[in-house]
Structure 1
Amino acid sequence: MIRRTKEAFYDIAQFPNVVGAVDGTLIPIISPSRDEHVYVCRKGYHAINVQGVVDAEMRFTNAVAKWPGSVHDSFIWTNSTLCRRVERGEVDGWLLGDSGYPLRPWLLTPVLNPSTAGQHNYNHAHIKTRNVIERPFGLCKSRFRHHKSSYAFTNINNLICNSIHQLQAIGTVDLNVIRTTEILKMVMPSYAIYTESTMMDRPPETI
């Protein structure tokens, strides 16, 4: 499976050894009754920041939905289970993230202010390859826009899972890849509950 994933990513823009594209997206929510200010995102509305990882076929392989909108993508990544896995060397390949993520040997980001042909070529291939995450996020968010007026934060995790199941029905998400392994209460009471849907129970060579 991991070999096929790398080959599929390589076919996009000849970027080798890639096993996933990671990004965060802001999901609007109703203003919470507690700690309201921490949910205000950089765009000025109440939200949660959802992190997702997809493969080259735009299938979610990992999703984390537990942080309020004011939390930065890099913080969410650093505190995720998947980050700990790749740091332990359990993932055979690279992830691609935008400039909001920290550059690591296994998490590649664009070159800021490229000045050589090689750097420009790298950025072009990086952007084109990582772009696979945009469409599934867009489809998922379209479902949240429909439900925004009737869902509070404590319901948002069920809605995320339902949206992923709906995406699977139209062929965007493979439920053999994504599964919910943890639905736990947050340490901070105002966050109530989170979902981390991932492949943590798959062999180490998959994510």
Structure 2
Amino acid sequence: MAVALLIFRHNERRALRRERVFRDRTNIMDNLNDIEIISRYRLDRQSIFELVDVLAPHLERPTLRNFAIPPLHKVLTTLRYYAKGGFLSEIGDIHGISRSSVSSIISSVTLSLVTTLLHKIKFPVDQPSLREIKHDFYTMSGMPNVVGAVDGTLIPIIRPSEDEQIFVCRKNFHSLNVQAICDAKMKYKYDIWPSYFRFTNVVAKWPGNTHDSFIMQNCSLNEKFENKQVDGWLLGDSGYPLKPWLLTPFLNPSSNGEEKYNRCHKSTRNVIERAFGLLKSRFRCLHKTTGCLHFIPKKCTNIVVACFILHNICIDKSIPQLDELLEDDNNEDDHEQPDVFNDGINTRASLVRQRFN
């Protein structure tokens, strides 16, 4: 009797087991025109195929399963998440993939992208490139010898299971504090906001409550400037220490020259805030309007860097930003300089005397 009951229950479970569903994975790109592809995936058709060719060796897996997900679908799924953010289940419904597969695909494609294409973000140290950047910044607002504008931006993430408190930022949500430097090369395309500034350095590993000055002092670029491997200045807000190579505004300007310096400094450094705005407009997964990144901090870091890489690729290829442009509302000056170095005071004072008096 007991054996018969066990057999009955086993058959009952088999009857209730969900059948395996093979979802439709027709090539979405065949049904979209060029503008629709850019709107949904941020890259144009040719750039997507080029990206697939680069990442395919890292994404193809030997398997005996039927209907394995091809590299093109993996790349499209990941790009869609970068572009729109939101729930993974909705991304899966669009591409005929389960939610768990979407999560795994985003992680693998992101890691492959960062590993393979990190060279797309590179701070120039050769003199011809630095001279070109200095010329671009000087043409913009008349500030000389500038090789980059630096700032931090907050990227919202889901509450981590470990060390949760260190990820709570000054605005009281869980985030990464991402430091970036951009150049000042503008491209006026398609009659839209000319904020096509390229990112030359990104540091995305620090939790949200880390101060901007700490990130700067512990990044590899700090050592290059300190050792005078880079000839030029960075412009930062009042949250950064004043150094001979990192110029910040006067907190309390006491002369007409200092006020002129502050105005010129602000209008020149504004490029980094505009660059963040374009980045988050292009890749909405980084903007709080789509919620937050639903991954552990390490994977969130990779996603952030991957979006910066793709942003530079879009600029190199002059791919337009078709969606509404957003401002980076997470940026606020700290209005409290953490450190002031005498050599930095002398450099800034000399600049005011020569240029702004």
TM-score by length of 2: 0.47
| Offset at residue 149 of structure 1 (A) | 5.0
Aligned equivalents of 2:293 and 2:156: distance in 1? 10
Provide the residue aligned with 1:139 in structure 2: 278
Q: Indicate which of 311, 314, 327 corresponds to 1:170.
A: 314
Distance 2:309 2:294 in 1: 19
Q: How many Å apart are 1:103 and its aligned residue?
A: 0.3
1:86 aligns with 2:225: yes
Pairwise CA distance, 1:171? 1.6
Amino acid at match of 1:69: G
Contact kept in structure 2, 1:99 and 1:110, CA below 8 Å: yes
1:167-199 alpha-carbon deviations (Å, 9 max, x no partner)? 23432799xxxxxxxxxxxxxxxxxxxxxxxxx
3-state secondary structure, aligned to 1:148: coil
Given the alignment, which residue of 151, 158, 166 partners 1:23?
151
Alpha-carbon distance in structure 2 between the residues aligned to 1:62 and 1:5: 14
Q: Which residue of 1 aligns with 2:56?
A: none
For residues 137 and 56 of structure 1, the distance between their equivalents in structure 2, rounded to whole angstroms, comes to 13
Aligned to 2:201: 62
Identity of aligned residues (%): 53
C-alpha separation in 2, matches of 1:173 and 1:15: 28
Q: Which amino acid aligns with 1:117?
A: N
Cα shift at 1:64? 0.3
Structure 1 unaligned residues grouped into runs of 5+: 175-207
Distance 1:173 1:96 in 2: 27
Q: Residues 89-104 of structure 1 correspond to what in structure 2 (within 5 A)?
A: 89-104=228-243
Change (3 A) 1:95 1:39: same
User: Is it true that 1:151 corresponds to 2:279 in the alignment?
Assistant: no
Alignment partners' CA distance in 2, 1:159 and 1:171:
19
Provide Cα deviations, 1:54-110, integer angstroms capped at 9, x if missing partner.
111211110001111011000000001000110000011000000000000110000
- Superposition TM-score, scaled by structure 1 size: 0.79
Alpha-carbon deviation of 1:147?
Answer: 6.8
Q: Which structure shows the bigger proportion of residues in strand conformation? A: 1
Residues 88-134 of structure 1: CA distance to partner in whole angstroms, max 9, x if unpaired?
A: 00011000000000000110000111121100000011000011101
Which residue number corresponds to residue 181 of structure 2?
A: 53
Query: 1:167·1:173 contact (CA, 8 Å) conserved in 2?
Result: no
Q: Which amino acid aligns with 2:304?
A: I
Distance 1:30 1:165, change over 3 A: same
Say what the alpha-carbon RMSD is for the aligned residues. 1.8
1:33 aligns with 2:161: yes
Q: Which runs of 4+ in 1 moved over 4 A?
A: none
- Which of 112, 125, 130 is matched with 2:269 structurally? 130
Inter-partner Cα distance in structure 2 for 1:116 and 1:149: 46
Q: Secondary structure at the match of 2:241?
A: coil
* C-alpha deviation, 1:141, in angstroms: 3.1
Structure 1 pair 173/30, CA: closer, same or farther in 2 (3 Å)? farther
- Structure 2: unaligned runs, 5 residues or longer: 1-128, 186-196, 319-357
Q: Secondary structure at the match of 2:204?
A: strand
Q: Of the candidates 157, 161, 164, which is equivalent to residue 305 of structure 2?
A: 161
**How many residues are paired up?**
174
- Give the 3-state SS of the residue equivalent to 1:43 in structure 2: coil
Higher fraction of helix: 2
Q: Contact 1:48–1:67 (CA<8 Å) still a contact in 2?
A: yes
How far, CA to CA, are the matches of 1:158 and 1:49 in structure 2?
Answer: 13
Q: What is the match of residue 2 of structure 1?
A: 130
